[in-house]
Amino acid sequence: MSEKFEPRIVGFCCKYCAYAAADLAGSMRLSYPSNIKIIQVPCTGRIDVIHVLRALEEGADGVMIAGCLEGECHFLEGNLKARSRIDRIKHLLKKIGMDPDRVEMFNLSSAMGPRFAEIASQMTEQIQALGPTPIPRSCTPASETAA
Amino acid sequence: MIIARKKPVEEIITEIDPYDRILILGCNECVTVCEAGGKKEVEILASALTLHYQARGKAKTFGKATLERQCDREYLEEIRGRIHNYDAVLSLACGVGVQFAAETYTATPLLPGVDTVCLGANEERGLWTERCQACGSCVLARTGGICPVSRCAKRVMNGPCGGSANGKCELGPDTDCAWQLIIDRLKALGRLEDYEQVAPIKDWSTDRAGGPRTITREDIQL
Ligand code: SF4
Ligand code: SF4
């Protein structure tokens, strides 16, 4: 494998800040790595442990969660709840032998287009350094759906 | 409600390691409410275990099901048609549910995915405290609604022991002295005379000390 590893990263972005910041980065014609596939969420507080695990299970090399600046959550403290959930997910990843750095949370405001470009690059580099996910790409989740 | 705690995932990995096809079996009642073994915990555990084994290139299958209750045979019957697809069942119900599932499906190893801790109440999100030890003959009527069996470390029946200080148990500052609570409550109710009466010796034969208990209700046995 001589070509450069291009990570596939799922980015859960809050509608009120990170998603808007990504939009702004676009309007400002800033260039940033296209590795992050953005999923808009109403608030990072909506993101549950299972959403992050499922993304990894389905072959994401990394998962990025981006919410409002602390103290400025549109829903008051959704981002703080997300932060502690992400901490717990990292803890769980460590216990099951996955690198906790595959999951990272960032905070930014809707006016921070350049910052979005920056965290997109930072996250991409972080995952590039870790290398591809140990989860086989071809795999569909081995856990079957509940009957 | 029965309070259980999730087992550490490392311990679960050791338990299930010898098996290839594992059914993770949740319960919709107590363990769902105390967030240890409901549908959500089944999903998260299945996903975490899948990640663990796939990252090691091992193929294991994790099935998922959550029954209404695992302490009732009729609900356990719901998995009869698919249990043969699995080498083991990891039950996230309380110890009652795990045992009942094991009794129902004798050919399949049943493993516990939670530690069953006590009968308790939900004080706030993520905090449960013990309130009853199912002693089989409730004394709450004379103790102001505060249980000396479950809340007093020594289970004394006639006022605090010598270790009670400033309302706290000698176990440490985190534990209220149950008898201090009882006296305060009886005082507030104007019923301190209840406290003055010496309690008869408690019949512990209705408690666990009398051996495993069976409850027979002829009135509802048709
Ligand atoms: S199996 Fe246990 S947790 Fe489930 S309903 Fe019965 S008593 Fe409650
Ligand atoms: S006295 Fe016995 S039955 Fe009553 S609350 Fe205490 S342990 Fe439970």
Q: What is the pLDDT of residue A2?
A: 57
Separation of CA B51 and ligand 2 centre (Å): 44
Separation of CA B32 and ligand 1 centre (Å): 9
How many other CB atoms are there within 10 angstroms of residue B145's CB atom?
12
Residue A146 binned pLDDT confidence (cut-offs 50, 70, 90): very low
Separation of CA A35 and ligand 2 centre (Å): 59
Percent helix / strand / coil, chain A, rounded to 5: 40, 20, 40
CB-based contact B47 A139, cutoff 8 Å: no
Intervals of chain B under pLDDT 70 = none
List, for residues B126-183, the tens digit of each pLDDT value.
Answer: 999 999 999 999 999 999 999 999 999 999 999 999 999 999 999 999 999 999 999 9
Instruction: Give the mean pLDDT of chain A.
Output: 92
List, for residues A57-114, the tens digit of each pLDDT value.
Answer: 999 999 999 999 999 999 999 999 999 999 999 999 999 999 999 999 999 999 999 9
Helix (H) / strand (E) element for B14: namely helix B9-16
Alpha-carbon distance of B144 to B187, in angstroms, equals 9
Q: Which of B72, B70, B74, B71 is nearest to B23 (CA)?
A: B70
Cα three-residue angle A129-A135-A139, rounded to 5 degrees: 140
Residue A147 binned pLDDT confidence (cut-offs 50, 70, 90): very low
* Residues sharing a CB contact under 8 Å with residue A21, sequence separation 6 or more, in sequence order: A66, A108, A109, A110, A111, A112, A113, A115, A116
Please report, for residues B10, B28, B150, B199, the alpha-carbon distance to residue B125 in angstroms, rounded to integers and kept in the order given.
Answer: 25, 18, 22, 37
Whether the ipTM is more than 0.90: the answer is: no
Q: Which ligand is closest to the CA of B31, given by its number?
A: 1
Strand A62-67 and strand B21-27: pairing? unpaired
Return the bridge partners of A11, or none: A38, A64
Model confidence at A142: pLDDT above 90: no
Pocket residues: Cβ below 6 A from ligand 1: B 2, 27, 29-31, 69-71, 93-94, 96-97
Our CA-based measurement puts residue A23 at a distance from the nearest CA of chain B, in whole angstroms, of 32
Residue showing tokens 């090399």: A61
Note the pTM of the prediction, 2 decimals. Answer: 0.91
Residue showing tokens 């915990």: B41
CB-based contact B59 A142, cutoff 8 Å: yes
Question: Which residue has its alpha carbon closest to ligand 2 atom 1?
Answer: B138
Answer whether B153's CB lies under 8 Å from B179's CB: no
Model confidence at A141: pLDDT above 80: no
How many other CB atoms are there within 10 angstroms of residue B11's CB atom?
13
Q: Give contacts of B51 with chain A, Cβ < 8 Å.
A: 53, 56-57, 93, 96, 98, 135
Alpha-carbon distance of A139 to B29, in angstroms, equals 33
How many other CB atoms are there within 10 angstroms of residue B102's CB atom?
16
Q: Which ligand is closest to the CA of B94, given by its number?
A: 1
